[in-house]
Amino acid sequence: MNAIITASDLATALVGDAPPVLLDVRWQLTLATANGEPPFDGRAEYAAGHIPGAVYVDLDRELASAPGPRGRHPLPDLADFGRAMRRAGVSAARPVVVYDGGQGWAAARAWWLLRWSGHPDVRVLDGGLPAWQGPLETAVPAPVEGDFKPVPSPTGLLDADGAAALARSGVLLDARAGERYRGEVEPIDPVGGHIPGAVSAPTNENVGPDGRFLPAGELAARFKELGAVEGTDVGVYCGSGVSAAHEALALAVAGIPAALYVGSWSEWSSDPNRPVAVGPDPR
């Protein structure tokens, strides 16, 4: 099953016999600024207009637990996550489509969590809301409660030690911007640089100017150049486990399974005893 869906295919599915559950996960990383701009508010964006029937999901509160030693977006408590998904109408036997404001990171986080915790049919709207050509609504739906119960996979999730080991034995991709990987800038976390052995693979290079994923063949060719091919153990990380989910989604489109280090650099860099590499070379 393809991990993404086009806007036209979504429009067709929504009027079909088995329409998917729609989740709106608009979110974006915001940093403190001195110019007085208000922080991004995904719920307000949702209230201003969303795809008909979509239910809003809060990434910070429902797709992650509170920031702490495990990173800025650690895994949510699975019982809480299950309750949030059931409130949104998610059931095991009904397909789910997730979208965000176009960047794709937040939608990918929801996709990854649902897939990792056992949902068999989840896709991301390619290009997000900007790709949608249909109507929007402001009414808040009241979905019938779903029956989804998370059952996490024994594979697909990395901790810090697992990420370090994979950087030695397989391919560990760093989805952050190149300057953060190289340690030239670090606007968020305690120290700049990367996990020794990790390969720079900025996630924005997986999409075109319209925010949609490159064709599967082009993605496969890109990942092959980075050493990530089918049959090789592949893992991904980023700053806090959000943009890395988008990298994992791109890998899935290319036909390459990958594990996710959810704690990512925000967890790794919080421990001064963990090694840090800087510069363009993996080690």
Which residues are known to be catalytic? 238
| Through-space distance between the first and last CA atoms of the chain, rounded to whole angstroms | 36
- Which residues, other chains included, contact 80 with Cβ-Cβ below 8 Å and sequence gap of 6+? 62, 65
Q: CB neighbours (10 Å) of residue 276?
A: 16
Three-class SS of the chain: CCCEECHHHHHHHHCCCCCCEEEECCCCCCCCCCCCCCCCCHHHHHHHCECCCCEECCHHHHCCCCCECCECCCCCCHHHHHHHHHHCCCCCCCCEEEECCCCCHHHHHHHHHHHHCCCCCEEEECCCHHHCCCCCECCCCCCCCCCCCCCCCCCCEECHHHHHHHHHHCEEEECCCHHHHCCCCCCCCCCCCECCCCEECCHHHHECCCCCECCHHHHHHHHHHCCCCCCCCEEEECCCCCHHHHHHHHHHHCCCCCEEECCHHHHHCCCCCCCCECCCCCC
Strand pairing report for 157-158 and 21-24 = unpaired
Question: Residue 245's closest CA among 127, 93, 124, 142?
Answer: 124
